[in-house]
Amino acid sequence: MFDPLYLLLVLLPGLLISGGASYLVKSTFKKYSQVRSRNGYTGAQAAQKLLDNAGIHDVQVVRSHGYLSDHYNPTTKQLALSEPVYDSNSIAAVGVATHEAGHAIQHATAYGPLSWRSAIVPLAQFGSSAGYFAMFGGLLLMTASPALGRWVVLLGAVLFALMLLFQIITLPVEYNASARAKALVVESGIVYPDERKGIDKVLNAAALTYVAAAVSTALTLVYFLIRSGILGGDD
């Protein structure tokens, strides 16, 4: 059954926020992919230089497939860069690559929020799916047993909140990795100070996608709490 509240509170804001963030990332990356760094470092070379300067010699910089699929895996200690980043000497490529190197440096220096995020991953994955279905099922159950249904929704909300907690912890992890990259690319001589403006824009745009994800999750959680009467009284 169509619910106008879901449309107004979750669907439309989610599409606007997530779609806007995604568009900004792609358009900013595309713009600065056409701006070459004057020192000529490719994404792979820039990431490797930051790792070497930090004394990190057990992390391997590798290629990955997929558009903007760049990531650092602390389990395998692989810094995976997509082909448009690995081979390119653009400002955008250097920014993305050094951001991922920032994650590797976080791991090597035991940066607290990164450890917390890694620890909560299994719970967040379980809570994301199980919590959503529990909340949805709880609303259906309320038609037969309102009290029991609310308890099921509340249990689902607690599980679903684990995903929101993961996303909230992710924010300082991502912003810190970007802050490290922005400072180190200039300190390491990878780019000139005046070129950092482009790197800042690329990384700031990318950070908004994590904010958008957290907001969308929070709106979904609020919707179920309102519909169940747990938040704001009975519907």
Residue in 190, 197, 174 with CA at minimum distance from that of residue 52:
190
Residue in this structure with the two tokens 């990795």, named with its chain if needed: 177
In one-letter notation, the amino acid at residue 12 is L
Task: Enumerate residues 6+ apart whose C-beta is below 8 A from 48.
Answer: 61
Residue in 49, 54, 51, 55 with CA at minimum distance from that of residue 89:
49
In one-letter notation, the amino acid at residue 110 is A
Query: CA–CA separation, 205 vs 66, rounded Å?
Result: 19
> Which one is catalytic: 100, 174, 187, 195?
100
Residue in this structure with the two tokens 């379980």, named with its chain if needed: 126
> 83 an active-site residue?
no
Q: Is residue 210 classed exposed, middle or buried when 0-12, 13-18 and 19+ CB atoms within 10 A define those classes?
A: middle
DSSP string for residues in 162-217: HHHHHHHHHHHHHHHHHHHHHHHHHHTTSS-GGGHHHHHHHHHHHHHHHHHHHHHH
- Which residues have a catalytic role annotated? 100
